[in-house]
Amino acid sequence: MKRPYERVLLKLSGEILAGHQGFGLDLEAVAGICEEIAEVARSGVSVAMVVGGGNILRGQQAVQKGMERAQADTMGMLATVINALALQDALERLGVSTRVQTAVEMRQVAEPFIRRRAIRHLEKGRVVIFAAGTGSPYFSTDTAAALRASEIGVECLLKATKVDGIYDRDPALYPDARRLPRVTYQEALQMQLKIMDAAAFALCQENRIPIVVFDVLKQGNLRKLLLEGEQVGSLVE
């Protein structure tokens, strides 16, 4: 069976890496996710990643407590670097070659983001982990994911979540919420579905990058989606 996508970008939230702890790094959760990523990467799919930092610091919460927004966002960007290094370590221990590229320069820790170099790493079979968001405050890691996905020419943006797709309303609050297996960009806008923030969604729509929203914590989902061609989660296109 032909693989549905040859190059993808996986957007992982910091909360996913916290596991059941809800805060910090759960190294068992990180290892579990990386085992599936490693399987996909070994099969020949080019995998890039953008990781959030909400398990360490959420900028919005810091702002609500009085911190200046740009400062809080900068701290959040640095938190994503810690997560990226944890993912790198877990993947390397599984025998997968990786590179971490950061939007905020810190050469002793990782490469600076250089688009052509990132593409070359992917062509050589390395997993590229993008950290420090866009490098600028006021932009979310969702926006960073959409931006990097556009820059490196991926065929799909995978938004890894704790729910099994997109719903017409919050399933945690409404037991009768209906799961939507497939929606168009326009339908998502009209229904005000909170898939990603507006800037990220606009970038994906403009560059015709489909978005798959899926439950990354369900074992085997990544393999089914990328290696077996099964429909997993919900698709926006």
pLDDT average per 10 residues of sequence, the chain (237 residues)? 88 91 89 95 96 88 90 94 97 97 96 97 97 94 96 96 87 86 87 84 93 92 91 91
Confidence at residue 107, expressed as pLDDT on a 0 to 100 scale: 93
Whether residue 178 contacts residue 32, with contact meaning beta carbons closer than 8 Å, is answered with no
Q: How deeply is 210 buried, as exposed, middle or buried, from its count of CB atoms within 10 A (0-12, 13-18, 19+)?
A: middle
CATH class of 7-236: alpha beta
Confidence at residue 1, expressed as pLDDT on a 0 to 100 scale: 58
Whether residue 112 contacts residue 130, with contact meaning beta carbons closer than 8 Å, is answered with no
pTM: 0.94
Confidence at residue 92, expressed as pLDDT on a 0 to 100 scale: 97
Q: Residue 115 to residues 56, 108, 112, 150, 202: CA-CA distances in angstroms?
A: 27, 19, 10, 10, 21
Whether residue 141 contacts residue 147, with contact meaning beta carbons closer than 8 Å, is answered with no
User: For residue 73, which amino acid is it?
Assistant: D
DSSP structural state of residue 233: S
Q: From the annotation, which residues make up the binding site? A: 11-14, 53-54, 58, 73, 134-141, 161, 167, 170
Confidence at residue 23, expressed as pLDDT on a 0 to 100 scale: 86
Q: From the annotation, which residues make up the binding site for UMP? A: 53, 73, 134-141
Q: How deeply is 28 buried, as exposed, middle or buried, from its count of CB atoms within 10 A (0-12, 13-18, 19+)?
A: exposed
Q: From the annotation, which residues make up the binding site for ATP? A: 11-14, 54, 58, 161, 167, 170
Confidence at residue 20, expressed as pLDDT on a 0 to 100 scale: 83
Confidence at residue 171, expressed as pLDDT on a 0 to 100 scale: 83
